[in-house]
Amino acid sequence: MALLSNNHLISVSRYEEPRPKLLAVPPDGVVHSWTIVPPAYTLSRSVEVLLAIGETIYVVDATESEDRMLDIGPFIHISVSPNGKFAALYTESGKAYVITSDFQNRLSEHDSRAKTLPVDLLWCGNDAVVIAWEDEVHLIGPKGSAAKFFYDGRVHAIAGIYNPVL
């Protein structure tokens, strides 16, 4: 996936036979952040892109660019849960939201009260979100429960998927 300077998105589904495909054209404006939703987690079974433009999120796929009508942005970080059911959003004002992937329900809200922007926002499994700064981590659980961790050195957060063998 590539985001061009004019906000157009190009998708390449197979590296063996690269055939770039232009997705629907999103609106003009500054893209604050973006992320990919894998085809396995979309209704259309094709790749979708979440674009943070202005105060809202646009869902862009091969045929349309749809405004999700949010008014709590701009969002500087977006992350989709490993199971595709949830999205985590982080605003410039320091608030984190966990919402359902259809953007119909806001499940939790966390005010980090941070004066600096985080380095990353990622999922820890499907139930918790990690907000990472250079020397601080907030672990946000269900219903907005939170734990804060402080470190002397620089933090490096890496998302992983826990898949136990049964």
Rg of the Cα trace of the chain? Answer: 16
β-pair partners for 60: 49, 65
So what's the pLDDT on residue 161? 58
| 52, amino acid identity | A
So what's the pLDDT on residue 143? 79
Mean pLDDT of successive 10-residue stretches along the chain, which has 166 residues: 92 86 94 93 88 96 94 95 94 95 93 94 94 96 89 87 52
CA 35 to chain centre: 5
So what's the pLDDT on residue 166? 46
